[in-house]
Chain A
Amino acid sequence: MLPDADAAIHAIAGALAKREGEGREGEGREGGAEARAEHAAAYVRATCARAPGYIRPPLRLATWGFDAWGCLRHRRPFHALTPEQQIAQLERWEGSWLGPARMLMTFYVGVTLFALHEQEAAA
């Protein structure tokens, strides 16, 4: 399986939807995690598609690199990891000493959480 930026965006949204929903399964969220992740991923993709030309290519490359990073540790790209492995990689990058890695996560976490909470507020 090869690294894929679009698949990584979907997987990041899924992992964040799971992480943010942990411990709150009894609140009508059962079965909704995939739908919430899909909605959030669609919003993140729409945001990326509108991003300025100087952001889109490096963002896509960095996202591909994030997906490929999973191969180093698990021989599978991020989007093919288990949810637990995905959350662990997200958190490693969130706390990375490398500024660009943290920035990438700040972007995805911020936009994805915005979409997840907006959907929840609408519901």
Chain B
Amino acid sequence: MIEPFAGTLCADVAVIGSGPGGAVTAALCAEAGYSTLLVEEGPNLPLESSPHFSGEEILQKYRGGGVTMALGAPTLSYVEGRCVGGGSEVNRGLYHRTPAYVLEQWSQRYRIDDLTVESLRPHFEACEATATIAHLPGTPPDLSRRLGEGAEARGWSAISAPRLYDYAAGRKQSMSATFVPRFERAEGRLIADTRARRIHRSGGKWEVEAVHTLSDGEQRTMTILSDALFVSCGAVHTPALLRSSGYRRNIGNSLRFHPMLKVVALFDEAVNLPGDPDPVHQIKMFEPRFGMGCSISSPPLLAMALAAHPAMRARIADEWRHMGLYYVQNGGGHGRVRSVPGLADPLVFIRHEEDELAALYEGLQRLVEALFAAGAKAVQPCLPGFGLLTSEKDMAFLPARLPRKSAAMSSVHVFASCPMGEERRLSATDSWGRIHDGEGLCIADASLMGGPTIANPQGSVMAIAHRNALRAIERRFA
């Protein structure tokens, strides 16, 4: 990492944002022999700087202290990473390649050139060679296994999802542990604690106005000059930066989420033991209508999920080993990102269609069924106003529709705010991430996706960034 700096930095290529899209792009550009700067707004911290899913990690590595939200009825809270490695540092690393039907939908809607399972395969393989993908060796934790058993009892299928995880080394495969070191080995220069405020074209180069924050909090303005520029600030802050810089066509108008509802299941036996590996089971057979899975179920996260349910919460201290947190999510919710003069953080607005909420609510009910089939003695939907369900029969007392005021939704995935494709009426960039009429300015993050994957999108983000970066290098960024 280079030292704090005030003044002007020059490079062939600058990449703003070091999450899965930015880190992959920067590594490839540096390895191709271009002097490359990787600029990150958040701090540069080791993967192990704080325990995973701890309060310390939230304060260190999450944007906005973990309380970012999309405004709407209902609102939706979402989380993003804000550190070197971005979201890859704070997620669980569950991994899927993009399903074929999803790629077909994106390609048809946005007329994306050459985006198929076959054409993406080498890019997935290249990313997977650097960031190890593995299935959990041995027996999954009971918390996870129970969901699989519940699915089987209902005649459904469940999978044990692979993760970006090196089980032999016991280490998560985040960007700070994989592509960022690869970038630095290729003599790329990383600048952390540096926020890009505006970009513009000047004298045939890209000029990034940025502010670097020193460890004592002092801020210094700086300018980055580069021949090529990739914006990789994530699906909320990429459109915010672009819109602030005058790029607005189809930028920030189509943000999507994976809205999630949660339940806590209580079992007779202990299923949630200290030291258990993270749960990996998922029920994917209902996708894209909805998908289900297991969440991290530590006592603090159980307590937070049960904030509106004091009776169940009172049992955490004595019974948390018998409790598991599970989720259902789908691709509902349509958002817009708008930057506001004077505010560092953009506003995000969301609206939900009735049929999307209905699908999510149906998924919640299927999840409850699976958990009772797995032997749960009680299930508490983490929705204000919803009572404890002590048997499947209690589901008859659930409201027919999910009341909007009870829809306590969250999302750990945001994407699709600047979709790529040749359909200029809808897309923000061409099929390779270059902004329409943007003089070569590129996007390289989840913003480019054409919509929800329901599956965890990090693999898709990395593979598409790999595909687009190789294309940009081949064309010498023209």
Chain A positions near chain B (C-beta within 8 angstroms): 20, 24, 43, 46-55, 94, 99, 102-103, 106-107, 109-111, 113-118, 120-121
C-alpha gap A118/B57 in the complex (Å) = 12
Q: B395 interface residue, CB < 8 Å from A?
A: no
Known: A55-B64, A118-B55. 16 other contacts (CB 8 A): A20-B313, A43-B55, A50-B59, A52-B67, A54-B340, A94-B308, A102-B384, A106-B384, A106-B408, A113-B307, A114-B301, A114-B303, A117-B316, A120-B317, A121-B298, A121-B299
Residues of B within 8 A of A49 (CB): 65
Residues 39 to 64 of chain B near chain A (Cβ within 8 Å): 54-55, 58-59, 63-64
Among candidates B59, B300, B340, residue contacting A121 with C-beta atoms closer than 8 Å: B300
Task: Say whether B67 contacts A117, CB under 8 Å.
Answer: no
**Given A24-B317, A50-B59, A114–B67 Cβ distance below 8 Å?**
no
Stretch of B103-111, B260-268, B341-349 contacting A (4+ beta carbons < 8 Å): B341-349
C-alpha gap A120/B54 in the complex (Å) = 13
Among candidates A24, A51, A117, residue contacting B64 with C-beta atoms closer than 8 Å: A51
Task: Say whether B55 contacts A51, CB under 8 Å.
Answer: no
Task: Say whether A52 contacts B313, CB under 8 Å.
Answer: no
| Proximity string of chain B (302-336) to chain A, C-beta cutoff 8 Å, 1 when within and 0 when not | 11101110000110110000000000000000000
C-alpha gap A98/B316 in the complex (Å) = 28
Task: Say whether A118 contacts B300, CB under 8 Å.
Answer: yes
Q: B69 interface residue, CB < 8 Å from A?
A: yes
Task: Say whether B303 contacts A50, CB under 8 Å.
Answer: no
Task: Say whether A114 contacts B59, CB under 8 Å.
Answer: no
Among candidates B69, B303, B306, B405, residue contacting A116 with C-beta atoms closer than 8 Å: B303
C-alpha gap A109/B384 in the complex (Å) = 13
Task: Say whether B304 contacts A46, CB under 8 Å.
Answer: no
Q: B244 interface residue, CB < 8 Å from A?
A: no
**Given A24-B317, A106-B307, A109-B307, A53–B343 Cβ distance below 8 Å?**
yes
Could you list 11 examples of A-B contacts with CB < 8 Å? A24-B317, A47-B65, A47-B66, A50-B64, A50-B67, A52-B343, A53-B344, A102-B384, A113-B304, A114-B301, A116-B303
Q: B223 interface residue, CB < 8 Å from A?
A: no
Among candidates B54, B55, B308, B317, residue contacting A106 with C-beta atoms closer than 8 Å: B308
User: How distant is B458 from chain A, measured CB to nearest CB, in Å?
Assistant: 23
Residues of A within 8 A of B69 (CB): 55
C-alpha gap A94/B313 in the complex (Å) = 15
Residues of A within 8 A of B67 (CB): 47, 50-52, 55, 107, 111
Residues 72 to 88 of chain B near chain A (Cβ within 8 Å): 75
Q: B178 interface residue, CB < 8 Å from A?
A: no
Q: B68 interface residue, CB < 8 Å from A?
A: yes
Among candidates A52, A99, A115, A117, residue contacting B405 with C-beta atoms closer than 8 Å: A99
User: How distant is B408 from chain A, measured CB to nearest CB, in Å?
Assistant: 8
C-alpha gap A51/B313 in the complex (Å) = 26
User: How distant is A36 from chain B, measured CB to nearest CB, in Å?
Assistant: 13
Residues 17 to 59 of chain B near chain A (Cβ within 8 Å): 54-55, 58-59
**Given A24-B317, A115-B55, A51–B65 Cβ distance below 8 Å?**
yes
Task: Say whether B307 contacts A52, CB under 8 Å.
Answer: no
C-alpha gap A113/B303 in the complex (Å) = 6
Residues of A within 8 A of B343 (CB): 52-54
Residue of B nearest to A97 (CB): B405
Residues of B within 8 A of A114 (CB): 55, 300-301, 303-304
C-alpha gap A43/B63 in the complex (Å) = 15
C-alpha gap A24/B304 in the complex (Å) = 20
C-alpha gap A23/B50 in the complex (Å) = 33
Residues of A within 8 A of B384 (CB): 102, 106
B55, B64, B306 — which one has the most chain A CB atoms within 10 A of its CB?
B55
Task: Say whether A113 contacts B55, CB under 8 Å.
Answer: no
C-alpha gap A103/B74 in the complex (Å) = 11
C-alpha gap A48/B75 in the complex (Å) = 18
Residues of B within 8 A of A102 (CB): 384
